[in-house]
Amino acid sequence: MAAVTLDPLSAPLPHTGVLAQPAPSPVLRVNQLAVTYYTDLGRARALDDVSFTLNAGQKLGMVGESGSGKSTLALAMMRMIKPPGRIEGGEVFVGDTELMGLNEEAMRRARLSKIAYIPQGAMNSLNPVIRIGAQMVDAVKAHLPGESRAAIQDRCRQALRSVDLDPGVFNMYAHELSGGMKQRVCIAIGVLLEPSVIIADEPTSALDVVTQCQVMETIDRVQDQIGAAVILIGHDMGLMAQFVDRVAVMYAGRLVEISSVREMFTDPKHPYARALISSLPNLDNRGVFQGIPGLAPSLLRIPSGCAFHPRCPFAMDVCTTVRPEVLELAGGRRVACHLFDEEARHG
Amino acid sequence: MAELLELRGVSKVYTRGLTHSHPTVALREISLTLKEDEPTILTVAGESGSGKTTLAMLLLGFISPTMGEILYKGRNITTLTGPERLAYRREVQAVFQDPFAVFNPFYTVDHLLTVPIKRFKLASTRAEARARMEEALNAVGLRPEDVLGRFPHQLSGGQRQRINVARALLLKPRLLIADEPVSMVDASLRATILETLRNLQRDYGVSIIYITHDLTTAYHIAKSIIVLYRGGVMEAGDVDRVIKSPQHPYTQLLVDSIPWPNLEQRWGEQSIMARESTAPPPGACPFMPRCPKAMPVCASRPPLFQINPHQAAACYLHERQPQLVAEKLSELLPA
Ligand SMILES: Nc1ncnc2c1ncn2[C@@H]1O[C@H](COP(=O)(O)OP(=O)(O)OP(=O)(O)O)[C@@H](O)[C@H]1O
Ligand SMILES: Nc1ncnc2c1ncn2[C@@H]1O[C@H](COP(=O)(O)OP(=O)(O)OP(=O)(O)O)[C@@H](O)[C@H]1O
Ligand code: SF4
Ligand code: SF4
Ligand SMILES: [Mg+2]
Ligand SMILES: [Mg+2]
């Protein structure tokens, strides 16, 4: 495993304002991205003005309650939101290219070559009746119009090798592979065109710990080779602690905190992040279940003010009426909570 | 004392693999007893392909054993008919691994929940049916208005997984087989759902077989654990002892690979050999090709050796200890 960047200052976070000039130019900038699902029961604001940046080579962990909008965020960045969902606004820059403004054809080419998404449950979406190799070739051939079929196949075999799979897997079917092998095939497809951003949505949640370890090492290694930035979406805080540099926490469609992994685990700021960290199991508190009381809010009726206020032990009057904006604290970590209004003003 | 469930020397061999010309022993001579009046939570752990789901499918009667027999309340489950079969179908429920695969995409959540209510006549009025549905959804942290009326693809991964758990809760079974029920939810919800399951065991006397590769949750919810590798029992016993002081090299690898949410405890110092490339020689200890402590004697399959009253391991490192016959495995497992 690569060493984790523990010093928050070594990875300064730019302001998210559109005009702010980031110091080491980030490879990914997401500004005010918003998605709504128009359901029969009403409008569900699944993603509410989410902004963050990521530098080349950085690993960001994206955590948050089930249904908080993590997969929606990934799909929106890929412009893969399907009706009844709609991207309501926002920008996504990969390098200098702004994805939301591209025409369909240019966006199709940007997928996989600039930004790749390994979807939740990807390994179950491999086609059972088509050989792995043919599926890989299919995924990339449109991106490589000038290349011969043999050259593309070579590339695919190379990609399999880069995720530690025998090139013979090229001729096999999905059911002949274990879960971990299938997941590595999906990663191989994701990295084939050496994108600058890789989004992996729960890549290991169906795998055992030993295989998990192998898959994460694989991601780590290919990331090193191609210098990509990685967004790891997941629930496993253990995995996050072992793998990412920074952690972003989502709640009800908003980013409520983004901090270095060390800050997040030792001194989480947002009350939801604190509750999440204290719900983690360890060997000393067997049988103690510290779930966060209350239910996640309905996206159809997001509570006024701070969406967490009905469940928050620190809620104040202001929390029920005024929505907390994302504020930057000393050291570059960011948090959206009224408890830090003062600190941010003076910091 | 009546037995709820009894496995007698159960093996499952798959012969019809499409590409594997040689048969796969998915489960090897498993004997196990769960008592009716001692509801417990038993974890079955092991890596991918170790036979966990095969065991679940056998217990549910979806597939039948190649050898041995499975008894439910003293009756072989393959011979159950009529009302006994219906009772077994209701009393033994499952929560499955893959929330993406189990649901028919054309049925709404309401449909998924009302079918069992109707089939097993769990409510006499519509209002009562609705109330039971809401109660079950609340228990897994879902708001009825958020999920009822929706189709599976309109739910997040974790929401789908929880619908599964809610369905099982609705039926208040005697035995719940939960195959990776919380792999796709966050730590807080995981805690909430596991607590719900534990309360089900404690307050309603439901026995639970918790199938997982996640030893941290196993440690928190279960009383006892069986560690499988390539279909065989490697180690079994009290969950506290097995996880805090694993005695089989395979269990040691598993425990060492746990990604702890702790920055000071780095991940997996032992280097890992891929399972794919490590078929053991015939008749040998199945873990031998990956075992850092393999010895010549390991070329024959080790029996279980009993290390203490609540722990046994199938490994020659413990050959000084008394052997444990496989049929007595359950005596190690605290209820
Ligand atoms: N096609 C859809 N139609 C309506 N609502 C949807 C649709 N897809 C997702 N949603 C809703 O949007 C919200 C966010 O879903 P999303 O899949 O992004 O969550 P998530 O954070 O990835 O959750 P998980 O951790 O469970 O995968 C959820 O409340 C979900 O029910
Ligand atoms: N229908 C089948 N035909 C042939 N072989 C099978 C079949 N089902 C399972 N197997 C094989 O039996 C072994 C045990 O599989 P099983 O699904 O029980 O593992 P598992 O422990 O549940 O793994 P995972 O953690 O990946 O779910 C594997 O080697 C698998 O390839
Ligand atoms: S803004 Fe108020 S309610 Fe929201 S998390 Fe902070 S203290 Fe709690
Ligand atoms: S019996 Fe031998 S090969 Fe098998 S686990 Fe023990 S030491 Fe390793
Ligand atoms: Mg998701
Ligand atoms: Mg399984």
**Tens-level pLDDT at each residue, chain B (335 residues):** 578 999 999 999 988 654 555 678 899 999 999 998 889 999 999 887 788 888 998 999 989 999 999 999 999 999 998 888 988 988 998 887 655 555 566 778 888 888 888 888 888 898 999 999 998 898 888 888 888 888 877 777 778 878 888 888 888 899 999 988 877 677 777 777 788 888 888 888 899 999 988 888 888 889 999 999 999 999 999 999 999 999 999 999 888 888 877 777 666 555 555 555 567 888 999 999 989 999 999 999 999 999 999 999 999 999 999 999 988 888 888 87
Strand partners, A180: none
Q: Of B183, B215, B267, which has the smallest distance from its Cβ to A206's Cβ?
A: B183
Is a pLDDT exceeding 80 seen at residue A130?
A: yes
Could you say which residues from 123 to 142 on chain A have a Cβ atom under 8 Å away from some Cβ of chain B? Answer: 124
CA distance A77 to A116: 10
Our answer on whether the CB atom of B237 is closer than 6 Å to any ligand 2 atom is no
CA distance A188 to A219: 9
* CB contact A205 to B (< 8 Å): yes
- Chain segment A153-181, per-residue pLDDT in tens: 999 998 898 887 888 899 999 888 877 78
Q: CB-based contacts of A92: which residues, under 8 Å, 6+ apart?
A: A28, A29, A30, A31, A33, A76, A77, A98, A99, A100
pLDDT at A148: 93
Nearest in space to B182 (alpha carbons), one of B151, B149, B148, B158: B158
CA distance A64 to B233: 36
- Chain segment A300-335, per-residue pLDDT in tens: 888 999 999 999 999 999 999 999 999 999 888 999
Q: Of B18, B183, B188, which has the smallest distance from its Cβ to A291's Cβ?
A: B188
Residue A84 or residue A10, greater confidence: A84
Q: Of B100, B219, B272, which has the smallest distance from its Cβ to A214's Cβ?
A: B272
Which of these ranges, A39-48, A254-263, B98-107, B304-313, has the smallest mean pLDDT?
B98-107
Instruction: Give exposure, A189-225, as e/b (b: 16+ Cβ within 10 Å).
Output: bbbbbbbbbbbbbbbbbbbbbbbbbbbbbbbeebbee
- Chain segment A188-225, per-residue pLDDT in tens: 898 888 899 999 998 887 677 777 887 888 888 888 88
* CB contact A40 to B (< 8 Å): yes
Our answer on whether the CB atom of A215 is closer than 6 Å to any ligand 3 atom is no
Our answer on whether the CB atom of A306 is closer than 6 Å to any ligand 3 atom is yes
E strands present in chain A: 28-39, 42-54, 59-64, 85-94, 97-98, 115-118, 197-201, 229-233, 246-251, 254-260, 327-328, 334-335
Structure tokens that stand for A162 in this block: 């880069």
Q: Hey, CA dihedral for B318, B320, B321, B322, is it positive or negative?
A: positive
E strands present in chain B: 3-14, 24-35, 41-45, 67-72, 75-76, 92-95, 175-179, 207-212, 224-229, 232-238, 304-308, 311-313, 323-324
Q: Let me know: does B64 contact B7? Beta carbons within 8 Å.
A: no
pLDDT range class, residue A15, cuts 50, 70, 90: very low
In terms of CA atoms, which chain B residue is nearest residue A82? B154
Distance of CA A112 to the CA centre of its chain: 16
Question: Which of A210, A237, A262, A280 would best serve as a mutation to test chain B binding (most B beta carbons within 10 A)?
Answer: A210
Q: Whose CA is nearest to atom 8 of ligand 1?
A: B154
- The alpha carbon of A87 and the centre of ligand 2 are apart by a number of angstroms equal to 41
* CB contact B19 to A (< 8 Å): yes
Q: Let me know: does A205 contact A176? Beta carbons within 8 Å.
A: no
* CB contact A263 to B (< 8 Å): no
- The alpha carbon of B214 and the centre of ligand 6 are apart by a number of angstroms equal to 12
CA distance B219 to B232: 21
Alpha carbon dihedral B304, B214, A123, B276, in 10-degree steps, equals: -30
